[in-house]
Amino acid sequence: MLVAERGQSLDALLAAETGKPQERGLLRSLCYGTLRWHIRLSAILAQMVSGPATRLEPEVRALTLVGLFQLLHTDIAPHAAVSETVNATRVLDEPRAASLVNAVLRRCQREGKALGEQVDANPAVRTAHPRWFVEQLDVDWPSDATSILDANNGHPPFWLRVNRQRTTPADYLDRLLAAGMKASLSAHAPEALLLAEAVDVKSLPEFAAGWVSVQDAAAQLAAHVVKPQAGHRVLDACAAPGGKTCHMLELEPELAEMVSVDASGERLERLQQNLTRLRLKGTVVKGDAETPESWWDGQPFDRILLDVPCSATGVIRRHPDIKLLRRAADIPALAERQGNMLERLWPLLRPGGRLVYASCSVLRAENAGIVEPFLMRHREAMDVTGSLPLSWPPAGQQYGEREPGRRLRPGEASMDGFYYACLQKSHG
């Protein structure tokens, strides 16, 4: 919790954790669960501590929130949750806090329901989301805001992408079932399989041999929206860690060239690792999509995928620390950068080619709010998203009948929240 409160990513911290798988699993569950409900838990804690809850030592406050999460949102035995949380104060070298933590958790056992009802009068607190985000959802998704908030608090589904260069989704499904793993095919993403329960990737049949990758079904739609053809030169901008790059190469191994660009050298290493595991080849370039002149060789592309850096508000259920890390003030700066990237990459596209603008944000400002003014400035650009032969899931409420692109709300067909706009450049 302290990591997220201080603006750091919990994913990066937990990736370095060692220990027994069961212990790591419990740690992840407690950390992510507490972050998922952090705003509501903090409101409940504030009612039980004399004076603002923030006057507690930060470590003690974070520990108490973990204890409250266990009591209110897990099946852990209450006596175990209380005793282990109180004992942890000594591990933190805060023995004086033991009595306070014990008193708070005991009161929560007695009055938790009533305390929850008091804070739940505020929809933002009840759903454990920042107020600015709830208010923006009411504007951007007036009919779907509640379902999005509820989906964000659910556990993320475990989606796989089958590598068609190695096997078929139906055959791999049979392998999963034979291994005792329940799974089902997606009705919308052709290579996607949904597992009933998350598993260690090492236990997946032929994972090390590159038969399958972990990727949400909504993200898998990107390769089908881009739809590269044999002989095409394709650019994947902001490509790392490479899921979409690899998927396009799996679907079309006869590309003239796949160029994957990202500004992060560390993330490009992960992209290269993914290419190696999947036995795929591409050109990996370190560079910023806002400054293509620093890395572009002057040869145009037939297809460009621009998966922009964004607020990631469509994947909150996977990364609940976004609730604490993201601020309303971040959105204008992100939108400015997204618009710049689109403008700078458009000249790299060959006449007749297609650029796909994508984001995992649910906010209009980062999606249609970028694409719509771009189309007004560029008469040679046409939104062809609606004409693509794709099996989109049942549409949530769109921004408007004439607004460009296609958006997916979190939880729709068990997918993450996403936005796609396929823009074609005229020959004239």
Q: How far apart, in Å, are the Cα atoms of 77 and each of 66, 70, 82, 90?
A: 14, 9, 9, 21
Render pLDDT for 86-111 as a digit per residue (tens, 0 to 9): 999 988 888 788 989 999 999 999 99
The pLDDT score that the predictor gives to residue 170 is 97
Do residues 163 and 213 make contact, with C-beta atoms less than 8 angstroms apart?
yes
Per-residue pLDDT, averaged over 313-317, amounts to 97
Of 241, 245, 261, 222, which is closest to residue 419 (Cα–Cα)? 222
Amino acid letter for position 288: D
Residue 15 scores a pLDDT above 80: no
The pLDDT-based confidence of 8 (bands split at 50, 70, 90) is low
Residue 401 scores a pLDDT above 80: no
Residue 410 scores a pLDDT above 80: yes
Q: How far apart, in Å, are the Cα atoms of 212 and each of 156, 167, 279, 295, 324?
A: 19, 9, 12, 31, 33
Per-residue pLDDT, averaged over 373-397, amounts to 88
Do residues 307 and 237 make contact, with C-beta atoms less than 8 angstroms apart?
yes
Q: Walk me through the domains of the chain, giving residue ranges and CATH numbers.
A: 2-128 (1.10.940.10), 158-214 (3.30.70.1170), 217-425 (3.40.50.150)
Which region among 155-159, 303-307, 396-400 has the lowest average model confidence (pLDDT)? 396-400
Of 227, 286, 236, which is closest to residue 257 (Cα–Cα)? 236
Residue 16 scores a pLDDT above 80: no
Structure tokens at 219: 């993200």
The mean pLDDT value of the chain amounts to 92
Report the alpha-carbon distance of residue 408 to residue 416 in Å, rounded. Answer: 7
Render pLDDT for 19-73 as a digit per residue (tens, 0 to 9): 666 677 788 889 999 999 999 999 999 999 876 555 678 899 999 999 999 999 9
Residue 306 scores a pLDDT above 60: yes
Which residues participate in catalysis according to the annotation? Answer: 360
The pLDDT score that the predictor gives to residue 91 is 87
The pLDDT score that the predictor gives to residue 161 is 98
Which one-letter DSSP state was computed for residue 347? G
The pLDDT score that the predictor gives to residue 127 is 97
Amino acid letter for position 255: L
Residue 202 scores a pLDDT above 70: yes
Report the alpha-carbon distance of residue 217 to residue 18 in Å, rounded. Answer: 29
Render pLDDT for 103-153 as a digit per residue (tens, 0 to 9): 999 999 999 999 999 999 999 999 999 999 999 999 999 999 999 999 999
The pLDDT-based confidence of 197 (bands split at 50, 70, 90) is very high
The pLDDT-based confidence of 388 (bands split at 50, 70, 90) is very high
Amino acid letter for position 289: A
Of 110, 111, 83, which is closest to residue 98 (Cα–Cα)? 83
Amino acid letter for position 25: G
Report the alpha-carbon distance of residue 39 to residue 51 in Å, rounded. Answer: 17
Which region among 5-19, 127-141, 351-365, 366-380 has the lowest average model confidence (pLDDT)? 5-19
Residue 347 scores a pLDDT above 70: yes
Burial class (CB within 10 angstroms; exposed 0-12, middle 13-18, buried 19+) of 176:
buried
Q: Which residues contact 228 (CB under 8 A, 6 or more apart)?
A: 234, 248, 251, 252, 255, 302, 303
Report the alpha-carbon distance of residue 375 to residue 415 in Å, rounded. Answer: 28
The pLDDT score that the predictor gives to residue 94 is 81
Residue 313 scores a pLDDT above 80: yes
